[in-house]
Copies of this chain bind each other. A is one copy, B any other.
């Protein structure tokens, strides 16, 4: 019955049960829905029904719902619930989501919530918040099952059963020694296939792939992706197991990081989406545009230094957009290759050398091809052979340098521990513009007597 209902029909049914105060039917319907769906219904629910909706929901469902909402919606929901009910919900939330929520609150609000929560959960989430953002320590959850290396398979299975409700991920059971240090891992598949009397330390994998609390989230994502893991254990500096990062959080990280890369490469500044208000969006885009305005004036100043040459051969201006556009674009192409490659490759002197040599070769190939092409076109168009040579030579040199700049600059920034995706854009654009104009007008001025 429910599986054949559309989203609309489900929403209407929910509203009906709220109006008619039929809690049992309400709960039966909610039980069949995923957290994402409950959140969608909640977000589209008319204001007047929200209070009862929240009151009807069980606390564990409320916790799941909280994890699907954005910050404003979360605070709004906690307001409606009141302090006492809120703390029950916060106790049930996953620590990583809770840490994110508390992190963005004012200190007073945060402390008042923390003091209402039960002590163990409160301590756990405060521990997480000690770690820097975008590290494994912040992403991890403490809802996992650990077993001692001296357990038998039967004891491990029993523990698994008793923790089945609590644990976020049951795929891997991490094995710790008497000092809580991570010493091995068994998958629950291994448990299913083993004899009940076997000892854990006989069947466990000793060579556990792990990350540390300070590991960057991109490296965590890379690890999970390489090994096709469902979760990865997190240890502290004493190799004590303190949490796990699950693959769904990794998926969210990858998507978020991909969006950030796209933002940076197109210099849109801090995240702008369809909902951002006009003035806010304009304010976020202006800084970069104003910077470009001044960089553009540097180019203008350079051209004005060759005012005499330009006055004598106005046709030189006709090729400016083309040279600038192509030089800029070859730089961007190289930049994109390097930025993506830095994520998935191990970087050493040999890799860098080969890459730079390859890009030099590419620059020469496209430089020669485009230079010859434009020389012919310029000659045919303006009937001036020397003009063709001047434009062709300029394009040749600027394409090579542009390609190399797009390769070398992000590598240098990476070495200086600056994020290449965000800083390379402006640097490469500026340098390529300046260089291409100097080259172009420089060569034109050298051949001025032959051009007129």
Could you list which residues of chain A lie within 8 angstroms of chain B, going by C-beta atoms?
A: 1-3, 32-36, 160-161, 164-165, 170-171, 183, 188-189, 192-193, 205-209, 224-230, 247-248, 250-252, 254-255, 258-259, 261-263, 265-269, 272-274, 276-279, 281-282, 285-286, 288-290, 292-293, 295-297, 299-301, 303-304, 307, 310-311, 314-315, 317-326, 329-330, 332-333, 335-337, 339-341, 345, 351, 354-355, 358, 361-362, 365-366, 369-370, 373-374, 377, 381, 399, 429, 433, 437
Known: A339-B262, A437-B321. A2 touches B206 (CB 8 A): yes
Apart from the given pairs A274-B358, A286-B366, A289-B326, 14 other A-B contacts in the complex at a CB distance below 8 Å: A35-B227, A170-B189, A250-B251, A266-B333, A272-B337, A274-B337, A274-B341, A278-B365, A282-B366, A282-B369, A290-B369, A290-B373, A293-B326, A320-B320
A-B contact pairs, 30 of them (CB 8 A): A35-B228, A161-B193, A171-B230, A247-B247, A255-B258, A259-B340, A261-B262, A265-B266, A265-B336, A266-B333, A272-B333, A274-B337, A274-B341, A278-B358, A278-B362, A281-B358, A282-B362, A282-B369, A288-B329, A289-B330, A289-B370, A296-B326, A303-B317, A304-B315, A307-B314, A310-B317, A311-B311, A314-B314, A317-B317, A317-B320
- Among A314, A315, A320, A321, chain B packs the most CB atoms within 10 A around the CB of A321
- Report B-chain residues with C-beta under 8 Å of the C-beta of A301: 318
Distance in Å: Cβ of A381 to nearest Cβ of chain B: 8
- Given the complex of chains A and B, what is the CA–CA distance between A35 and B227 in angstroms? 7
Q: CB within 8 A of A340: which of B254, B273, B323, B351? A: B273
- Contacting pair B362 A297 (CB below 8 A): no
- Given the complex of chains A and B, what is the CA–CA distance between A250 and B321 in angstroms? 42
- Contacting pair A335 B266 (CB below 8 A): yes
Distance in Å: Cβ of A12 to nearest Cβ of chain B: 16
- Report B-chain residues with C-beta under 8 Å of the C-beta of A266: 265, 332-333, 335-336
- Contacting pair B303 A318 (CB below 8 A): yes
- Among A295, A318, A381, chain B packs the most CB atoms within 10 A around the CB of A318
- Contacting pair A230 B258 (CB below 8 A): no
- Given the complex of chains A and B, what is the CA–CA distance between A381 and B293 in angstroms? 14
- Contacting pair B320 A3 (CB below 8 A): no
- Contacting pair A3 B206 (CB below 8 A): yes
- Given the complex of chains A and B, what is the CA–CA distance between A170 and B191 in angstroms? 13
What 9 pairs between A and B have smallest CB-CB spacing? A296-B322, A258-B258, A278-B361, A282-B365, A300-B318, A266-B336, A228-B248, A299-B321, A164-B192
- Report B-chain residues with C-beta under 8 Å of the C-beta of A297: 322, 377, 381
Closest to A377 in B: B297
- Given the complex of chains A and B, what is the CA–CA distance between A278 and B400 in angstroms? 13
- Among A160, A161, A293, A307, chain B packs the most CB atoms within 10 A around the CB of A293
- Report B-chain residues with C-beta under 8 Å of the C-beta of A299: 321-322, 325
Distance in Å: Cβ of A316 to nearest Cβ of chain B: 8
Known: A171-B171, A321-B300. A326 touches B292 (CB 8 A): yes
